Amino acid sequence: MTVLEDRIEMAEESGELTLDALFESLERTTPEGYKVEIVEGAIFMSPQRDTHWEIILDIVEQLRTKFPRKRVKSDVRIDYPGHLNGFCSDVTLIAEGAEKTPGGLWRCGDVEFVAEVISKGTAHNDYGPKRTAYATAEVPVYLIADPYQGRCHIHTDPKDGDYAVSTRVDFGTDVDLTGTVVDLVLKTDDFPRD
């Protein structure tokens, strides 16, 4: 049994299993260059890939043409509704005037936009439990960039734990977010494919 597994088992036995306890343990044991998320209580670690990073950076750079740096985040932990959901989304846009909790975290209710770039090992999270958690938290715009399909999936208008509007756009076609809180056209011409 690893140290992390031992700590988790002790926390479960005492009834104190929390996202804070899990992330605290993971911070000490995660190899450099790996992203860690907890989705429905399951721990996922994945290394950053070049294609993944290029799409993330492209989205961040486009958001930065409209929004100040302090509102655009990448790989920053935010806890979402559901059982032990601590996500470190690829790109997050925080609402103007939002403030961190006393524990130093951003509130999911202050998230206006999330973008996730698909990785083979965790794609089911982005299309499934994360989509549900983002909709339940009423994140107005959720974009999935899938370099394997060469397509973006845009989800808007969250209602009752799901998104009422979902559209698909192939890489190379503009993603028109002007009717949303993001209010810009996202260019996908330079999004690489895997």
Query: Is the pLDDT score of 47 beyond 90?
Result: no
Residue written as tokens 């394997």?
A: 148
Report residue 127 as tokens.
Answer: 């299309």
Rounded CA separation 36/67 (Å): 26
Judge residue 150's burial from the number of C-beta atoms within 10 Å of its C-beta, 0-12 exposed, 13-18 middle, 19 or more buried: middle
Predicted confidence band of residue 16 (pLDDT cuts 50, 70, 90): low
Which amino acid belongs to residue 31?
P
Angle, to 10 degrees, between the axis of helix 3-14 and the axis of helix 19-29? 170
Q: Are strands 141-146 and 111-117 parallel, antiparallel or unpaired?
A: parallel
> What digits encode the pLDDT tens for the residues 138-181?
999 999 999 999 999 999 999 999 999 999 999 999 999 999 99
Cα torsion angle, 142, 146, 152, 153, sign: negative
Q: Where does the chain have alpha helices with state H?
A: 3-14, 19-29, 50-64, 123-127, 129-136
Percent of the chain clearing pLDDT 90 (strictly above): 75
Query: Is the pLDDT score of 1 beyond 80?
Result: no
Rounded CA separation 55/49 (Å): 10
